Amino acid sequence: MIAIIDYGVGNLRSVEKAFQSLGYQVVVSGDPKKILESDKVVLPGVGAFGKSMENLERAGMVPVVKQVIQSGRPFLGICLGLQMLFEESAEVFGDEECSFRGLGIFPGQVLRFPPSELKVPQIGWNQIHKNKNIPLLHGIEDGSFVYFVHSYYVKPAVDDLVTCTTNYGFDYCSGIVSQNVAAFQFHPEKSSRVGLQILKNFGELEF
Each residue's pLDDT tens digit, 89-113: 988 655 566 788 999 999 999 999 9
Q: Which domains does the chain have, with CATH numbers?
A: 2-204 (3.40.50.880)
Q: Which residues of the chain have pLDDT under 70?
A: 10, 92-97, 207
Q: What is the rounded radius of gyration, in angstroms, for the C-alpha atoms of the chain?
A: 16
Asked whether 2 and 203 are in contact (CB, 8 A), the reply is yes
* DSSP at 97: E
- Does the model's pTM come out above 0.85? yes
CA separation for the pair 199, 19 (Å, rounded): 7
pLDDT of 80 reads 95
Q: Which residues are designated catalytic?
A: 79, 187, 189
pLDDT of residue 90: 87
Query: Quick one: pLDDT at residue 95?
Result: 59
Q: What is the 3-class SS of 158-185, one letter each residue?
A: CHHHEEEEEECCCEEEEEEEECCEEEEC
